[in-house]
Structure 1
């Protein structure tokens, strides 16, 4: 679960208020964006249609970019997640080491890590412990 999801679950009233504020801000920004387009469209309908198409294309491009970015962040690094849980005290040091070794063995077995990368990660972890 992401940090935002847990915050929203623990603070539903504040989350609703922020959603309301964001919605009003978004509608205000949309109004500011559309007023010039309506002015252009009343002066020259063809130019107004062109402006609407440009704004729509920009919106679609922005949505795709946001979706691609969200898809890239959906698969967090398992080692970073494990470190986060250890730092928060969710798991003990022995459990952390056991799971870290399991992750490294799995990555090596799947061919994601070369021998050099595995040794480097183990050495970095051992250095951090001392």
Structure 2
């Protein structure tokens, strides 16, 4: 197990006294995270990849979209082909709804953190997971 994953898992078992925790993990690392009741997971997979193996999470959202750099001045032909499968406003609304439902159902400690993560997702258009 790599140092980053070891650190993340350790922090999941010892929530901070103040503030929230949000972690960005690779697919391989995310698949090794224990399914704790206090953890809400948003799994984002490239449109051309299969889903990650994340069994046991009570609060699990899966999204799939193409990684397109909307900030690029000139999109390549390959990137333009991916546009129909790119991140959408509807998916953004789904994330907000998931965060709200997870918080209401028992992941309240993570609501603010997930919102910050969501804002980072919207700004960056891609998250390495």
What TM-score comes out, normalization by structure 2 length? 0.31
Between Structure 1 and Structure 2, which shows a larger proportion of strand residues?
Answer: 2
What TM-score comes out, normalization by structure 1 length? 0.31
Which protein is bigger by CA-based radius of gyration? Answer: 1
Between Structure 1 and Structure 2, which shows a larger proportion of helix residues?
Answer: 1
